[in-house]
Amino acid sequence: MPVLLVALWHFAVDLRWVAEGIIPSPAQVLRSWHTWIFGSTTAMLSPYSGTWLDNVAYSTRRVLQGFGLAAMVAIPLGLIIGWSRLAARLIDPTVQLLRPVPITAWLPFAIAVFGIYDASALFLIGLGAFYPIVVNTTHGVRDTNLLLLRAARMLGAGTITVLAKVVFPSALPSIFTGLRLGIGVAWTAVIVAEMIAVKSGLGYVLWDAYYVGRMDICVATMFSVGLLGFLSDRVIVWAGRLVLRWRTLEAHA
């Protein structure tokens, strides 16, 4: 399938199905990408030469920070919303009202409050990742088997123990679903944020390259983001398998 798509793309450019000079060919993109990664930073032939790793590092760091922040807030909050009916009534309506507001709509607000700094980007990334994590955690908590809660309580567990030792592990599969969705949103958010709110990272390169007409770099950026998103998702899936080994046993039973 991917091979077929690349072939289609190659011939579309090669046979002039698309306007000449606008869409670069796969080979061009690959060459530019190569220079972008391995090119010398001192030879000033291309402003992008050799800057790939730095920009990837900027974006990845922002994603990890924003995502980490989101998880740190969203998981405990989801536990509380799912557990306490009072907390649900106090917090959940606000979450549900704000959730449909797209990240892009928060951009002006973020820049107004945090300025053209990292904080703006982190706010947007964190906010984007926050919703799927909090919603899935809440859902996981509410799905906890009543019998397990009763079992824990009759064995003398207090509320804190029940939350930490029963509700949390029981919600973990759902939490991991939230984390996977969250990291996806985080990569979307980092590109949007970097396009406007900061002056580094893949999103900044994408917008900059578009302005100066370097469509080859734009496409290479798209692939880079895709690759990083894919890799980070794999990492979460792998971590999930490691933590939820007991579930694979259940599936085989």
Interface with other proteins (CB under 8 A): 145, 147-148, 150-158, 161, 165-166, 169-170, 172, 244, 246-247, 249-250, 252-253
- Nearer to other proteins by Cβ, of 34 and 150: the residue is 150
3-state helix, strand and coil shares in percent for the chain, rounded to the nearest 5: 80, 0, 20
Cβ 157 to other proteins shortest distance, Å: 4
> What is the C-alpha separation between 120 and 197, in angstroms, rounded?
6
Neighbours of 217 (CB within 10 A): 26
Q: Which of 118, 35, 134 is nearest to 79 (CA)?
A: 134
Cβ 171 to other proteins shortest distance, Å: 11
- Nearer to other proteins by Cβ, of 25 and 170: the residue is 170
- Nearer to other proteins by Cβ, of 163 and 218: the residue is 163
Tokens of 70: 């989101």
**Conformation bin of residue 61: beta by default, left when phi > 0, alpha when psi is -120 to 50:** alpha
Cβ 239 to other proteins shortest distance, Å: 15
Q: Which of 67, 53, 59, 139 is nearest to 96 (CA)?
A: 139
Q: How far is CA 75 from CA 1, 97, 140, 176, in A?
A: 37, 19, 11, 10
Cβ 149 to other proteins shortest distance, Å: 9
> What is the C-alpha separation between 211 and 229, in angstroms, rounded?
25
Cβ 76 to other proteins shortest distance, Å: 19
Q: What residue type is assigned to position 146 of the chain?
A: L
- Nearer to other proteins by Cβ, of 111 and 166: the residue is 166
- Nearer to other proteins by Cβ, of 91 and 157: the residue is 157
Listed as own residue / partner, the contacts of 209-212 with beta carbons closer than 8 Å and 24 or more positions apart are 209/48
CB 12 within 8 A of CB 18: yes
Cβ 181 to other proteins shortest distance, Å: 23
- Nearer to other proteins by Cβ, of 39 and 169: the residue is 169
